[in-house]
């Protein structure tokens, strides 16, 4: 049977979006073809034409000109010193290129044929440019476009580059192709037009964000990681690099292509950190700039000499908050009697004894004096003490730093003693960096030092889940629920972990409880959609075909364009099928395939229903064949394919699939009945009777299948 080539040629035609994605290249084509032209704008509708007329103070009737331009009867229109060239994208869409700055005399004398030729040549070159810059498999931008974008990057613009590696779970040709298609859709949906998404090959994608006023790109990596993890990606690695916008006339330290090398380096580092991880190049390359950077060895040696022989003491770190004011001046004015150690902008003081309150009071007085005097700076203080829990002396300088970071949330001139909250905050910082193992260490120590609270157990559980330690995550969320049995986040996270552990019934229970908690509290509304989707999918897997459909029906009302809509429609169709609603099941499965033509489950089940409803055996067979091509290892797909083959009198082709499936307990009875039916149709009555008898001899077989087996034995005894 002929197999359809997976790359759709239609995807390489021009679309409206191309005039945004390739605006620079398309403009260059027109400027080259039209002498003296200076600028090009692309307009997509009458509103944009009207706005352009107002901005450029063009004399003319907007509606009349719009109708002329978009009527598809003229290849150009001249208005004042502007040349309007419409490009027909489809029967409904037209994009108008407005060429500015061309010589008016030239525009009045040029011939219609010449301008028509420019129109045709420009359209051809635009299409060629798109084809050269587009990956045919995904329809995304390709590596050539990425290099062009980075090479032409302007240093006065801020830029964030993400390289995303999404390894396929299975290596079969169909699985890999479907995985790449699904991953492409997920990334396009996430970027929502804010990023330019590229496919670089081998399941590696690039997202380029150009910083705009008001943008906050600081947490894009973490948000993308969580989005892809929830989207059923079994591994996600992200490497990022960025450059901050610089003022005109300043030299940026990084060019666009170097940015790619940096992101690639960060991506390689991320792949060594766990199944779900990201790494920013700046954190990797400049560890000394990290807010929790460990002290220099020279400082550590000075401190060790000072506290040597002390069994109990406090270490106070004063942080000078004005980097232009020398810390030595602060030490000379306020700390001349305590022999401080100065390290850059920081000042360290060791106070012997175990009077922690006394150390705090002393530090507060110093901080207040600096704030009240005319000193052109302020200071904050972080205090660590020894002994404290299981911390070693060598850890005290970093503990002081963590206390200072803790204090930064309280405002300037704060004085904070290192405690479990400090560890919680440092854990959050490591989590935000994508260093989940360090985050686990901080959260765990915070729980050991303090009593442990719900937020800490939740944070620890999430960090465990991100590193693939699902059993440990399960334990953390359960400890949170012991403290508060209806805590939404613990219920929700535990349900997701149980789902990943394959414990469908338990996951259903906790997610349903989380949904009830969400509704009762009127909070966490941002999680409602995800809850409905997961509950619907789990209901389908658990065979709860009456309870499950409302979840997915509600989810699809607002998420019908999501890349996960195909998965939702498949499970909805499956539950309709189990409930005996075959017509509704067919509609849902057809919608699943319109969203994702490579949804193997939808193909297989739709083929099965076509057989049951006698909608066409050959169509059913083609659907089942394609599902097995996509997922050759799925035994349920093989049973449905075998049934289609038997119905088309191709029993010999069905036999290998059926003999494979009879070894599976779940599919054994169906495979035996199909073998018996095939042997019966081919006139091998003894073999057919043997398989029917095996069905009858098996305990727990459904009543309708027992009746089919007994009827088959009768047919074997009285062959026609």
Residues above pLDDT 70, as percent of the chain: 91
Sole residue written with tokens 């209901």: 539
Residue-wise pLDDT tens digits, 561-573: 999 999 999 999 9
Which ranges of 597-698 would DSSP assign to H, the alpha helix? 600-612, 617-630, 635-647, 651-661, 668-681, 685-697
Q: Do residues 493 and 465 touch, judged by C-beta distance below 8 A?
A: yes
Residue-wise pLDDT tens digits, 405-447: 999 999 888 999 999 999 999 999 999 888 999 999 999 999 9
What is the b/e burial string over 538-566, where b = at least 16 CB atoms within 10 angstroms of the residue's CB? Answer: bbbbeebbeebbebbebbbeebeebbbbb
Residue, of 116 and 240, whose pLDDT is higher: 240
The DSSP H or E segment spanning 82 is: strand 82-88
pLDDT of residue 38: 86
Residue-wise pLDDT tens digits, 30-84: 889 887 788 888 888 777 777 777 776 665 565 566 666 666 556 677 776 778 8
pLDDT of residue 249: 44
What pTM does this model have?
0.83
Among the ranges given (179-188, 367-376, 686-695), the one the predictor scored with the smallest mean pLDDT:
367-376
DSSP 141: B
Q: What's the distance, CA 143 to chain centroid?
A: 20
The DSSP H or E segment spanning 209 is: strand 204-210
* Termini Cα distance of the chain: 33
The whole-chain average pLDDT of the chain stands at: 87
User: Over the Cα atoms of the chain, what is R_g?
Assistant: 34
- E strand map for 295-407: 313-320, 341-343, 346-352, 379-386
What pLDDT band is residue 1 in, cutting at 50, 70 and 90? low
Q: What average pLDDT does range 172-182 have in this prediction?
A: 83
Spatial distance between the Cα atoms of 246 and 158, rounded to a whole number of angstroms: 8
What pLDDT band is residue 612 in, cutting at 50, 70 and 90? very high
Q: Which two tokens stand for residue 361?
A: 């009071």
Peptide bond into 506 cis (omega under 30): no
Three-state SS annotation for 147-187: HHHHHCCCCCCCEEEEEEECCCCCCCHHHHHHHHHHHHHHH
pLDDT of residue 592: 95
pLDDT score of 250 more than 50: no
Backbone angles phi, psi at 701, to 5 degrees: -75, 140
Q: Do residues 588 and 569 touch, judged by C-beta distance below 8 A?
A: yes
Sole residue written with tokens 């490009």: 87
Q: Is the dihedral of CA 454, 459, 460, 466 positive or negative?
A: positive
Residue 343, SS3 per DSSP: strand
Residue, of 211 and 541, whose pLDDT is higher: 541
Q: Do residues 560 and 592 touch, judged by C-beta distance below 8 A?
A: no
Spatial distance between the Cα atoms of 13 and 375, rounded to a whole number of angstroms: 67
Residue, of 459 and 527, whose pLDDT is higher: 459
Beta bridge pairs of residue 381: 318, 415
What pLDDT band is residue 251 in, cutting at 50, 70 and 90? very low
Concatenated DSSP letters of 220-244: HHHHHHHHHHHTT-S-EEEEEEEE-
Beta strand 415-417 pairing with 379-386 = parallel
Q: What average pLDDT does range 239-259 have in this prediction?
A: 70
pLDDT score of 536 more than 60: yes
Spatial distance between the Cα atoms of 487 and 479, rounded to a whole number of angstroms: 11
Spatial distance between the Cα atoms of 387 and 313, rounded to a whole number of angstroms: 8
Residue-wise pLDDT tens digits, 389-411: 999 999 999 999 999 999 999 98
Residue-wise pLDDT tens digits, 324-373: 677 777 877 888 778 899 888 888 999 999 899 999 999 999 889 888 88
Q: Which two tokens stand for residue 294?
A: 């460990």
Beta strand 236-243 pairing with 341-343 = unpaired
Which ranges of 544-599 would DSSP assign to H, the alpha helix? 549-559, 565-578, 582-595
Query: Angle at the Cα of 227 (from 627 to 182), degrees rounded to 5?
Result: 25
Q: What's the distance, CA 362 to chain centroid?
A: 49
pLDDT of residue 10: 45
What pLDDT band is residue 525 in, cutting at 50, 70 and 90? confident
What pLDDT band is residue 14 in, cutting at 50, 70 and 90? confident
Q: Which two tokens stand for residue 181?
A: 């298609």
pLDDT score of 645 more than 90: yes
Domains of the chain by range and CATH? Answer: 10-133 (3.30.70), 143-285 (3.30.70.270), 299-418 (3.30.70.270), 425-501 (1.25.40.10), 524-591 (1.25.40.10), 599-719 (1.25.40.10)
pLDDT score of 181 more than 80: yes
Among the ranges given (247-251, 373-377, 599-603, 637-641), the one the predictor scored with the smallest mean pLDDT:
247-251
């Amino acid at each position: 049977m002929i197999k359809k080539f997976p790359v759709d040629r239609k995807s390489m035609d021009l679309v409206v979006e191309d005039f945004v994605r390739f605006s620079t290249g398309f403009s260059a084509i027109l400027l080259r073809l039209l002498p003296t032209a200076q600028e090009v704008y692309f307009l997509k509708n009458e509103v944009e034409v009207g706005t352009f007329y107002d901005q450029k103070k063009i004399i003319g009737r907007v509606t009349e000109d719009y109708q002329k331009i978009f009527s598809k009867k003229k290849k150009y229109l001249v208005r004042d010193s502007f040349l309007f060239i419409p490009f027909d994208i489809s029967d409904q869409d037209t994009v108008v290129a407005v060429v500015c700055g061309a010589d008016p005399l030239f525009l009045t004398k040029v011939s219609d044929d010449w301008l028509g030729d420019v129109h045709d040549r420009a359209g051809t070159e635009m299409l060629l440019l798109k084809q050269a810059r587009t990956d045919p498999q995904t329809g995304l931008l390709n590596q050539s476009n990425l290099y062009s974008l980075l090479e032409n990057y302007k240093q006065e613009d801020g830029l964030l580059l993400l390289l995303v590696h999404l390894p396929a779970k299975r290596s079969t040709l169909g699985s890999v192709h479907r995985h790449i298609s699904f991953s492409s859709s997920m990334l396009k949906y996430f970027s929502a037009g804010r990023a330019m998404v590229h496919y670089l090959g081998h399941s590696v994608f690039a997202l380029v964000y150009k910083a705009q006023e008001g943008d906050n790109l600081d947490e894009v990596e973490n948000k993308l990681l969580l989005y892809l993890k929830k989207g059923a990606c079994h591994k996600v690695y992200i490497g990022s690099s960025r450059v901050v916008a610089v003022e005109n006339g300043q030299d940026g330290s990084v060019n666009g292509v170097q940015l790619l090398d940096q992101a690639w380096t960060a991506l390689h580092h991320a792949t060594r950190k766990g199944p779900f991880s990201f790494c920013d190049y700046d954190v990797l390359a400049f560890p000394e700039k990290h807010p929790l950077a460990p002290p220099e060895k020279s400082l550590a040696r000075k401190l060790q000499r000072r506290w040597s022989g002390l069994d109990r003491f406090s270490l106070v770190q004063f942080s000078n908050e004005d980097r232009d004011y020398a810390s030595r001046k602060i030490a000379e004015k306020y700390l001349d009697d305590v022999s401080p150690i100065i390290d850059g902008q920081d000042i360290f003081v060791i106070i012997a004894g175990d009077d922690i309150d006394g150390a705090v009071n002393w530090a507060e007085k110093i901080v207040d004096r600096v704030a009240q005097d005319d000193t052109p700076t302020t200071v904050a203080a972080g205090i660590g003490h020894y002994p404290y829990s299981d911390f070693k002396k060598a850890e005290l300088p970093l503990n002081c730093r963590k206390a200072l970071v803790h204090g930064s949330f309280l405002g300037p001139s704060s004085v904070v003693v290192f405690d479990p909250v400090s560890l919680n905050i440092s854990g959050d910082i490591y989590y935000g960096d994508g260093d989940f193992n360090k985050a686990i260490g901080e959260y765990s120590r915070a729980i050991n030092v303090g009593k442990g609270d719900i937020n800490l157990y939740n944070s620890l559980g999430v960090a465990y889940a991100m590193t693939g330690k699902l059993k440990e995550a399960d334990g953390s969320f359960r400890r949170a629920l012991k403290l508060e049995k209806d805590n939404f986040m613990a219920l929700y996270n535990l349900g997701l972990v149980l789902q990943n552990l394959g414990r469908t019934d338990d996951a259903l229970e906790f997610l349903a409880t989380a949904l009830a908690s969400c509704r009762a509290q009127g909070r966490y509304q941002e999680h409602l959609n995800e809850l409905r989707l997961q509950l619907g999918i789990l209901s389908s897997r658990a065979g709860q075909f009456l309870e499950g459909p409302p979840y997915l029906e509600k989810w699809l009302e607002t998420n019908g364009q999501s890349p996960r809509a195909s998965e939702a429609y498949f499970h909805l169709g499956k539950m309709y099928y189990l409930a005996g609603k075959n017509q509704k099941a067919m509609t849902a499965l057809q919608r699943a395939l319109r969203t994702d033509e490579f949804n193997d489950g939808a193909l297989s089940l739709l083929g099965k229903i076509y057989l049951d409803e006698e909608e066409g055996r050959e169509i059913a067979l083609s659907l089942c064949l394609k599902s097995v091509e996509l997922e050759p290892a799925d035994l349920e797909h093989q049973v449905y394919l075998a049934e289609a083959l038997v119905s088309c009198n191709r029993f010999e082709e069905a036999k290998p699939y059926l003999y494979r499936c009879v070894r599976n307990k779940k599919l054994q009875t169906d495979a035996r009945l199909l073998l018996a039916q095939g042997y019966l149709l081919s006139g091998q009555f003894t073999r057919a009777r043997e398989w029917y008898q095996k069905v009858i001899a098996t305990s727990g077989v459904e009543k309708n299948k027992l009746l089919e087996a007994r009827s088959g034995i009768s047919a074997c005894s009285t062959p026609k």
